[in-house]
Chains A and B, each alone.
Chain A
């Protein structure tokens, strides 16, 4: 491992950016992986960290709705959406609702009871909804039949968007989301459909899929720039960066320096594009287009080295000391 990289990892482990504080101790050597931080102590990490639910979504055909779907999908996977303490811990909607479903392994100290539960009315995350009672509830599967979900999803009622808005700004103390992001989240959740669930229900977590998530977020950012919606574009780019970070965590082994270098370089390009968007630079979209083009070059390298990364169940088990 190069020295700078080693120092950076150690820094991450040493002071986990405030968020997570003591969480890191739970999973020992796997603490570098964000999703490992919300596994119950003693839980076998291999299954939860190397597989995921398959997404049960029917993207809308209408181009505008299809863009909103992508915006919502990316925002759903981006901690910055939630803000507050949840974001600092690296939690996004999909931490609890993995691929729009549920996360049966989710365990957050002082917030969860059994794995797969969370107390969303605790002051730990929210200054608004504390009820002073320790009452964790089962995390619902958002891809269950609509009739079984507590919030009506009829677009005309607006109830779903209203509910999501409350979750972001009150349950998690997040900032006011851009209107397109809110509409996108409602569109995404609405598109989740049990009839669209692939078989088998769980699938291996693959680097290609996570790179694809990042690409989709960047394309959603481009769509936002087309609509002169910089705040939405910013969140989309942040989402893409977050995804790269999640990939990077799995390539921490000393012999994977090339992969990390590629990811770091890709992130720097995205950071530059982000600055361009914020500055109103008319070339911001070009930067994102370039990023998409370049990603085709570095993705195969990640895929080649995937068997030596923590995407590999055996590698992950070894890293966890199992």
Chain B
């Protein structure tokens, strides 16, 4: 069987959140509820990073930046190198006026995935606000370089144009910029907004940064991106699929299904190291994830590591009571090698 990709069927808005509800309950043995008599090493919170990411997004949308920061921090405690969560952490910090903290988060996010346009844009803006003009200029130059190579024809073209505009505006001298009041500062107050960090002297910033609306896709659009990605993968359009998956990751956070698909697309593009990193990230979040285990096993077959692939097969069989197609597929890979494409 040629590597059958996971189903991409998705539902309307909120579906993922519903999906995650039982998971959150399962994780509530930790979850910051207190460990009772257990020693900290045992009672340490264990969060569901995708659910925490969703909470963070919701808080961010409501202008509850402290809550958002806490949730993204919880997600990062489980999945510390997720670039999307780091980016959102930066947005939450920026929302409450902590530009320095925001810049740090963006920087870390970009060190993991340098291709993110929104993160680079926000990093440039944060650096400009901090008065670090040279560094901001460097980020702008990177965006310009990317835009030049894209030449208006890559999937990120519109995103790049918007990023360049935002970054350039942030670097405009304050006197000239003062006429353009940020939308965030003039937007209606939310019910219980967080106060901005007093040390910055920034105006109250009770609503999400204005660029956030471009990023905070609702679950419906996340579903759409995910489904698009599956379709594109089936059509062997892996670069386009990665672009859709990036959007799905922004909507859903570190969800193992999305991470596994991302790994799959990178594997098909021949980047085994990056594929492995995504599979491992998915398995770190969900150790019994059958799809990630299977595809990691297939990667091992492609690398000639049959012993490793057999270990993956054994893991699947331990999880799949009543059998599952994933074990059959991986078994076929181990016995016959990768199918001819």
Q: Are B322 and A244 in contact (CB under 8 A)?
A: yes
Tier of interface size on chain B: 35 or more
Summed over the interface, the residue pairs from A and B with CB atoms below 8 Å come to a total of 173
Most buried by B among A110, A125, A238, A242: A110
Q: Are A127 and B235 in contact (CB under 8 A)?
A: yes
Query: In the bound complex, what is the Cα–Cα distance between A103 and B286 (angstroms)?
Result: 34
Given A21-B10, A84-B4, A109-B9: A130 and B16 interface contact (C-beta under 8 Å): no
Contact with B along A2-35 (1 / 0, CB 8 A): 0000011011011111111111111010010000
Which one, A25, A175, A248, contacts B15 given CB within 8 A?
A: A25
Q: Can you name the residue of chain B whose Cβ is closest to the Cβ of A176?
A: B1
Contact with A along B268-293 (1 / 0, CB 8 A): 00000000000000000010111110
Most buried by B among A19, A26, A271: A19
Q: Are A25 and B234 in contact (CB under 8 A)?
A: no
Of residues 104 through 129 on chain A, the ones whose CB sits less than 8 Å from some CB of chain B are 108-111, 122-127
Contact residues in B for A14 (Cβ distance below 8 Å):
22-23, 26, 48, 286
Most buried by A among B11, B16, B230, B291: B11
Which one, A124, A244, A245, contacts B9 given CB within 8 A?
A: A124
Given A17-B324, A127-B235, A267-B321: A110 and B286 interface contact (C-beta under 8 Å): no
Stretch at the interface among B52-60, B91-99, B149-157, B326-334: B326-334
Contact residues in A for B291 (Cβ distance below 8 Å):
17-19, 88
Given A17-B291, A21-B226, A26-B15: A8 and B321 interface contact (C-beta under 8 Å): yes
Query: In the bound complex, what is the Cα–Cα distance between A85 and B264 (angstroms)?
Result: 14
Query: In the bound complex, what is the Cα–Cα distance between A80 and B331 (angstroms)?
Result: 13
Query: In the bound complex, what is the Cα–Cα distance between A149 and B322 (angstroms)?
Result: 35
Which one, B226, B260, B288, contacts A22 given CB within 8 A?
A: B226
Contact residues in A for B322 (Cβ distance below 8 Å):
241-242, 244-245, 248, 267
Interface status of B199 (Cβ within 8 A of chain A): no
Q: Are B7 and A20 in contact (CB under 8 A)?
A: yes
Most buried by B among A14, A88, A175, A238: A14
Interface status of B307 (Cβ within 8 A of chain A): no
Interface status of B337 (Cβ within 8 A of chain A): no
Q: Are B11 and A22 in contact (CB under 8 A)?
A: yes
Query: In the bound complex, what is the Cα–Cα distance between A14 and B25 (angstroms)?
Result: 10
CB distance from B332 to the nearest CB of A (A): 7
Contact residues in B for A13 (Cβ distance below 8 Å):
19, 22-23
Q: Are B11 and A25 in contact (CB under 8 A)?
A: yes
Of residues 253 through 275 on chain A, the ones whose CB sits less than 8 Å from some CB of chain B are 264, 267, 271, 274
Q: Can you name the residue of chain A whose Cβ is closest to the Cβ of B258?
A: A21
Q: Are A18 and B15 in contact (CB under 8 A)?
A: no
CB distance from A231 to the nearest CB of B (A): 11
Query: In the bound complex, what is the Cα–Cα distance between A18 and B257 (angstroms)?
Result: 6
Interface status of A192 (Cβ within 8 A of chain B): no
Contact residues in B for A80 (Cβ distance below 8 Å):
323, 325, 328
Contact residues in B for A264 (Cβ distance below 8 Å):
321
Of residues 191 through 231 on chain B, the ones whose CB sits less than 8 Å from some CB of chain A are 223, 226-227, 230-231
Most buried by A among B9, B26, B328: B9
Q: Are A88 and B6 in contact (CB under 8 A)?
A: yes
CB distance from A173 to the nearest CB of B (A): 6
Q: Are A41 and B22 in contact (CB under 8 A)?
A: no
Q: Can you name the residue of chain A whose Cβ is closest to the Cβ of B26?
A: A10
CB distance from A85 to the nearest CB of B (A): 4
Query: In the bound complex, what is the Cα–Cα distance between A298 and B25 (angstroms)?
Result: 33
Contact residues in A for B323 (Cβ distance below 8 Å):
80, 238, 241-242, 245, 267, 271, 274
Interface status of B73 (Cβ within 8 A of chain A): no
Contact residues in B for A223 (Cβ distance below 8 Å):
none
Query: In the bound complex, what is the Cα–Cα distance between A77 and B62 (angstroms)?
Result: 48
Of residues 1 through 38 on chain B, the ones whose CB sits less than 8 Å from some CB of chain A are 1-2, 4-12, 14-19, 22-23, 25-26
Q: Are A18 and B289 in contact (CB under 8 A)?
A: yes
Query: In the bound complex, what is the Cα–Cα distance between A110 and B26 (angstroms)?
Result: 30
Query: In the bound complex, what is the Cα–Cα distance between A17 and B7 (angstroms)?
Result: 10
Interface status of A83 (Cβ within 8 A of chain B): yes
Interface status of A100 (Cβ within 8 A of chain B): no
Q: List 14 contacting pairs A-B, 8 Å CB cutoff, sorted by A.
A: A17-B289, A19-B7, A20-B7, A21-B6, A21-B10, A22-B226, A23-B7, A23-B11, A25-B11, A83-B1, A84-B2, A86-B7, A175-B332, A245-B322
Known: A109-B9, A241-B323. 16 other contacts (CB 8 A): A11-B288, A13-B22, A14-B22, A31-B19, A80-B328, A84-B1, A84-B5, A86-B7, A110-B9, A123-B230, A124-B227, A124-B234, A130-B231, A130-B235, A267-B323, A271-B323
**B positions within 8 Å CB-CB of A:** 1-2, 4-12, 14-19, 22-23, 25-26, 48, 223, 226-227, 230-232, 234-236, 256-257, 260, 286, 288-292, 317, 319-326, 328-329, 332
